[in-house]
Amino acid sequence: MFGLNAKNTRLLFLVIFLVAFAPFLMNPFPTDSAMAQFNAGYPDLMQRFVIFGIFAIGFNILFGLTGYLSFGHAAFLGVGSYAGVWMFKLLGMNIIPAIAASVVVAGLLSVVIGFVCLRRSGIYFSILTLAFAQMMFSLAASVLTPITGGETGLTLSLNDPRIFGAGAVDGNIPVPGFFGLEMRSTYEMVMGGWSFSFNTGYYFCAIIMVLAFYASIRIFQSPFGLMLRAIKTNQTRLNYTGLNSRPYTLAAFVISGMYAGLAGGLMVAMDPLAGAERMFWTASGEVVIMTILGGAGTMIGPVLGAGAIKYMENIVSKINKGILEQWFSFMPDGMSDIFVTLIYPFIGKGWHLTLGVVFMLVIIFLPGGLVEGGQRIKSIFSRKKTEDTPADGAKTPAE
């Protein structure tokens, strides 16, 4: 369906299902229970899941297919954000021009940077992209302050021109919206002990993410995608087969740059602020980590990786000692102290430690990322099944 094979159609429907029902799936625990701490179904985090999902999907088109490891992709997200905020400042709070500008500006920038950096491959390419991104970060945070707002970030102000929109609403800056539909409006549904938030901005991002995901599947299974995979496995042979690898890599680079710009545009559409640290090398590293953690070269992996990282950043970091003590309060005093002491380094301010440990475990034991983990679990079940029905041999999962 939609020009996809059966497997990819199933994958697409799975993704549609997941994002459509995310408000339920992300809030599995009753709001009053101790486990509610692990609920992630509030608008901001759900938006982040899908926005960074888009970022990682785009990155995967470059890295997963061609094997070119860009260490400066956050630069495109950053300029996308700046472009978006400037559209808000100049034109008005409709998100469509902002997002369009984000994609276009990021695309143009990636043409320039890609053209230069793709003259080299391997780690030399990585360092070139890193150098460009770091330069842009440094300049944005300092000498370009008039355009970028410097370290504070580019924020809206009441005196912005906004030629097509209201300057102020009740003395406040208007909020981003889609032809009057405010991105921040939320519909709360209460069901027993549970509560679920349905946020306009989230569903807007989710629809775009599904489209982005669909486009990525199409690219993966297109002749163009085949050429990109060929570049990854043997660029020499490709050149001696009469194919010019440069425009292919450049196209992949620009597409993934535009995905990053789209993510940047959506970020400001949800929260109209653009900061320079979005372009810092750690932000570029984060998308690399998301992609590899989820499973580079797989279609769903980067989305899972993005979700895992953002979950840790936003949920684990908010657990504090008080909460921990509450969890273990059912235990005898001595024992609860031991548990609290053991777990305390990993939560709250120690969430980086958890992050580091999780990376290492996944990379060591699941070279194919979370997707491989899923496949292993699946193969355990399907092996059981084949024992019952030996007729149909279990297919070994594709790597």
Partner 1 sequence: MEAIVLQLLSGLDGGSAYALIALGLTLIFGTLGVVNFAHGALFMIGAFCTVTLQRILTLSHTVIDDTQKDFLGNPLKVQVPYIQDWVGESAAASIIDWSVPLAILFAIPVMLLIGIIMERGLIKHFYKRPHADQILVTFGLAIVLQEIIKYFFGANPIPAPAPDAFKGSFDFGVLLGFDPNVIIYPYWRLVYFAFAAIIIAGVFAFLQFTTFGMVVRAGMADRETVGLLGIDIDKRFTMMFGLAAVVAGLAGVMYTPINSPNYHMGMDFLVISFVVVVVGGMGSLPGAVLAGFVLGILQSFASMREVIEFLPGINQVVIYLAAIVILLTRPRGLLGKRGVMED
Partner 2 sequence: MSKSNFTRRGLLKTSAVAGGAALAAPRFFSPSWADGHAGYLNAPQGDTVTLGFNVPQSGPYADEGADELRAYELAVEHLNGGGDGGMMNTFSSKALTGNGILGKKVEYVTGDTQTKPDAARASAKSMIEKDGAIMITGGSSSGVAVAVQALCQEAGIIFMAGLTHSNDTTGKDKKANGFRHFFNSYMSGAALAPILGNAYGTNRKAYHLTADYNWGYTTEEAVRTSTEAMGWETVAAVKTPLAQTDFKDYVAPVLQSGADVLVLNHYGGNMVNSLTSAVQFGLREAQANGQDFQIVVPLYSRLMAKGAGENVKGIFGSTNWHWSLTDEGSKAFVKSFGEKYGFPPSQAAHTCYVQTLLYADAAERAGTFNPCGIGEALEGFEFDGMGNGPTLYRAEDHQCFKDVLVVKGKENPSSEFDLLEIVEVTPAAQVTYDASIFGGELGTCNPGA
Partner 3 sequence: MGILEIKNVGKRFGGLQALGDVNLSIEENTVHAIIGPNGAGKSTLLNCLVGKLIPDTGSVTFQGQSLLGRKPHEINQMGVSRVFQTPEIFADLTVLENIMIPCFAHRDGAFKMNAFATLRGQSDITTQAEQILDDVNMLEKSHMHAASLSRGDKRRLEMAMCLVQEPKLLLLDEPTAGMARADTNNTIDLLKEIKEKRDITMAIIEHDMHVVFSMAERITVLAQGTPLVEDTPENIKGHPKVREAYLGEAQV
Report the interface residues with partner 1, using CB under 8 A. Answer: 63, 67, 69, 116, 119-124, 127-128, 130-132, 134-135, 138-139, 142-144, 235, 281, 285, 288-289, 292-293, 296, 345, 350, 352-353, 355-360, 363-364, 367
Contact yes or no for 182/271 (Cβ under 8 A): no
- Interaction of residue 224 with partner 3, rule CB under 8 A: yes
Question: Cβ of residue 61: shortest distance to partner 3, in angstroms?
Answer: 10
**Which of the stretches 150-158, 214-222, 277-285, 321-329 binds partner 3 when contact is defined by CB under 8 A?**
214-222
| C-alpha 59 chain-centroid distance | 9
- Interaction of residue 189 with partner 2, rule CB under 8 A: yes
Coil, strand or helix: which one is 266? helix
Question: Cβ of residue 257: shortest distance to partner 3, in angstroms?
Answer: 15
Question: Cβ of residue 261: shortest distance to partner 2, in angstroms?
Answer: 17
Nearest to 121 by CA among 61, 59, 55, 66: 66
Nearest to 399 by CA among 367, 377, 365: 367
Instruction: Give dist(CA 182, CA 18) in Å, integer.
Output: 23
Tokens 């229970």 belong to 33
Which residues, in sequence order, are bridge partners of residue 273?
155
Among 82, 194, 196, 248, binds partner 3 (CB under 8 A): 248
Count the residues in the chain: 399
DSSP state letters, 316-344: GGG--HHHHHHHGGGS-HHHHHHHHHHHG
Instruction: Give dist(CA 99, CA 83) in Å, integer.
Output: 8
Question: Cβ of residue 237: shortest distance to partner 2, in angstroms?
Answer: 43
Instruction: Give dist(CA 202, CA 195) in Å, integer.
Output: 16
**Window 332 to 351, contacts with partner 2 (CB under 8 A):** 348-349, 351
- Interaction of residue 142 with partner 3, rule CB under 8 A: no
**Which of the stretches 6-14, 62-70, 317-325, 330-338 binds partner 2 when contact is defined by CB under 8 A?**
317-325
Contact yes or no for 193/121 (Cβ under 8 A): no
Question: Cβ of residue 301: shortest distance to partner 3, in angstroms?
Answer: 17
247 binding partner (options partner 1, partner 2, partner 3, none; Cβ < 5 to 8 Å by kind): partner 3
C-beta closer to partner 3: residue 223 or 334 = 223
Tokens standing for residue 333: 């005093």
- Which residues have a Cβ under 8 Å from the Cβ of 169 and sit 6 or more positions away? none
Question: Cβ of residue 177: shortest distance to partner 1, in angstroms?
Answer: 36
Among 122, 161, 193, 247, binds partner 3 (CB under 8 A): 247
230 binding partner (options partner 3, partner 2, partner 1, none; Cβ < 5 to 8 Å by kind): partner 3
Coil, strand or helix: which one is 375? helix
Instruction: Give dist(CA 135, CA 120) in Å, integer.
Output: 19
304 binding partner (options partner 3, partner 1, partner 2, none; Cβ < 5 to 8 Å by kind): none
C-beta closer to partner 1: residue 160 or 286 = 286
Instruction: Give dist(CA 291, CA 303) in Å, integer.
Output: 8
Q: Angle, to 10 degrees, between the axis of helix 281-294 and the axis of helix 74-90? A: 120
- Interaction of residue 156 with partner 2, rule CB under 8 A: yes
Instruction: Give dist(CA 113, CA 126) in Å, integer.
Output: 12
Count of chain residues binding partner 2 (CB under 8 A): 61
Strands 181-182 and 177-178: antiparallel
**Chain residues that interact with partner 2, rule: CB under 8 A:** 31-32, 36-37, 39, 42-45, 48, 138, 141-143, 145, 150-153, 155-159, 168, 170-173, 175, 182, 184-193, 195, 197, 271, 273, 275, 277-278, 313-314, 317-318, 320, 322-323, 325-326, 348-349, 351-352
**Chain residues that interact with partner 3, rule: CB under 8 A:** 3-5, 218-219, 221-227, 229-230, 232-234, 236-245, 247-248, 251, 255
